[in-house]
């Protein structure tokens, strides 16, 4: 049986994974620079593309950052740290909601608007010591959302064409991401991946389970990813492919590593694997056929040993010649070293 579904990781695999900070929306009374200073200080210790983009932009705008202390990372959710004696938290709206941290409706709307565009929005929150509305409740001691930071990623050139090539091979294509449903659907639409094949808000530790679930539905699944958070899923898939710019963990867990991170390499690898498999099957048929027919005939004396010897050589030549057709394979785009 052959691969029936290819699951593509979104960030870093179909997109470049190098994000840019494109907008900041703040709560009333909070300055953009203040939000960037706090968020940037915490993200300065993060290796996530979101963190790198926020820290880079904050350092550029403010001319340097005072690093946070007590940095903690929650993969798939966000980060936290202490800046100027205040706990600062940067992460997804989900992360804030799970911890019941207050988020103003205007900030919520800013997140939704950005995600509808296919962008990634994270919240930055801290305890501003202000008294929250309601029955004399004090907000002190609790972080709350103070700003929305919007990040844009770029689709890799050729991603849409590569998806179309894979679909034309009769293979279903799915998109897997820890990002929001809305952002994932917007990206999927550009790639012509059907909404039912969008697997969003999947925590890093759940990615392998998602693959197992698809296999449980009887599908042979290939997975393509680049990140540490993809490693378990790459190992679980029937065929795990790490992209050329992938992390060591992804490359270690994958069955094969693509030399390039050009999405066409994914389709090329599938075509090459399919050709190779059909050659192996044909060769087996030739070699077995020869033995199954010729050996009993020779044993029963129906075959002249000279003819049998000749047939054996012909069988070997057919197998070698058949294998040479793999050399005719040419990738869609020549590999450009990165
Ligand atoms: P992906 O599968 O797209 O690579 P992740 O699982 O790494 O996504 O992250 C999922 C979500 O968790 C992100 O979209 C973001 O909302 C949040 N997140 C992860 N890391 C960070 C970070 N360093 N700073 C802020 N938010 C983060
Ligand atoms: Mg990734």
What is the distance in A from the centroid of ligand 1 to the CA of 90?
A: 10
Task: Give the per-residue pLDDT at 334.
Answer: 59
Which is the closest atom of ligand 1 to the Cα of 43? 23
130-139 residue pLDDT tens: 544 444 444 4
In the 8-state DSSP scheme, what is residue 85? T
Q: Would you say 142 and 126 are in contact if contact means Cβ atoms under 8 Å apart? A: no
Best mutation site among 42, 71, 107, 122 for ligand 1, i.e. most ligand atoms within 8 A of its Cβ? Answer: 122
Burial environment of residue 276 by CB neighbours within 10 A (0 to 12, 13 to 18, 19 or more): middle
Lowest mean pLDDT among 33-42, 107-116, 126-135, 305-314: 126-135
Instruction: Answer whether 204 contacts ligand 1 (Cβ < 6 A).
Output: yes
Q: Please name the residues in contact with 162: beta carbons below 8 A apart, sequence gap of 6 or more.
A: 263, 264, 266, 267
Look at residue 159 and tell me whether its pLDDT is greater than 80. Answer: yes
322-335 residue pLDDT tens: 888 888 888 776 55
Per cent of the chain over pLDDT 70 is: 95
Q: What is the mean pLDDT of the chain?
A: 89
């Amino acid at each position: 049986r052959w691969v029936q579904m290819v699951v593509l990781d979104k960030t870093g695999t179909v997109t470049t994974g190098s994000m840019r900070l494109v907008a900041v929306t703040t709560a009333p009374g909070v300055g953009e620079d203040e939000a960037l200073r706090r968020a940037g200080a915490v993200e300065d210790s993060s290796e996530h593309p979101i963190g790198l983009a926020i820290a880079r932009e904050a350092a550029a705008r403010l001319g340097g950052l005072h690093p946070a202390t007590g940095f903690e990372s929650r993969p798939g959710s966000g980060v936290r740290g202490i800046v100027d004696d205040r706990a600062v938290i940067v992460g997804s709206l989900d992360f804030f909601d799970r911890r019941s941290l207050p988020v103003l409706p205007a900030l919520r709307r800013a997140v939704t608007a950005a995600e509808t565009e296919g962008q990634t929005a994270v919240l930055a929150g801290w305890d501003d010591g202000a008294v929250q509305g309601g029955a004399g409740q004090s907000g002190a001691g609790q972080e709350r959302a103070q700003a929305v930071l919007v990040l844009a990623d770029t689709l890799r050139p050729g991603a849409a064409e590569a998806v179309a090539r894979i679909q034309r091979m009769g293979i279903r294509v799915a998109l897997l991401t820890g990002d929001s449903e809305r952002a994932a659907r917007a990206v999927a639409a550009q790639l012509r991946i059907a909404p039912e094949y969008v697997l969003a808000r999947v925590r890093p530790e759940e990615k392998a389970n998602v693959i197992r679930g698809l296999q449980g539905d009887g599908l042979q699944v290939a997975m393509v990813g680049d990140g540490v958070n993809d490693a378990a899923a790459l190992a679980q898939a029937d065929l795990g492919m790490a992209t050329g710019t992938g992390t060591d963990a992804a490359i270690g867990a994958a069955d094969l590593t693509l030399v390039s991170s050009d999405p066409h390499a994914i389709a090329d690898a599938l075509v090459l694997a399919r050709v190779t498999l059909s050659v192996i099957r044909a060769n087996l048929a030739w070699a077995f056929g020869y033995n199954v027919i010729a050996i009993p005939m020779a044993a029963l004396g129906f075959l002249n040993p000279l003819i049998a010897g000749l047939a054996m050589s012909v069988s070997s030549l057919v197998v070698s010649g058949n294998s040479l057709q793999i050399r005719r394979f040419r990738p869609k785009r020549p590999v450009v070293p990165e």
